[in-house]
Amino acid sequence: MIKGNCHCGEPLNPAASKFAEENGVSDAMCPACIVISKPRLKAALDAVLNPPLNIADIVIEKDIPLPGVRKAGMFTELFLKMEPGDSVFLPGVERNACKHSQDQLRKTHNFRFAIRKVHENGKDGLRVWRTE
């Protein structure tokens, strides 16, 4: 198998290297250079680098936590306690994290909020004001 870097500087993919060797590509080339220099090999190279999915090889896993899960409307209870003119600082919180609560309270209680990105006490976060 050809090892090292392609003449363009890209590291060689082991599967592409083996493919190049088996198909008479004498120079060490990355997949992109193989396709450029030997366009007729593109489909065959694609099949090597992206083999078809075999359903029998897929493993079903249990109890894998979903990353970034948050409870929908996790700030609703906090926002319900606020009166017009009150505000809270939510350190490390992105706007989308409180948007569901804000939307629900606007629909159900006619509450209105203003939200701004702020930097307070050395932390980035949001300041949320109840305006109505």
Taking 50 as the pLDDT cut, the residues of the chain under it are none
Report pLDDT for 36. Answer: 66
| Cα(112)–Cα(79) distance, integer angstroms | 10
The label of the residue with tokens 């592409």 reads: 16
pTM greater than 0.75: no
Report pLDDT for 37. Answer: 67
Amino acid at 69: V
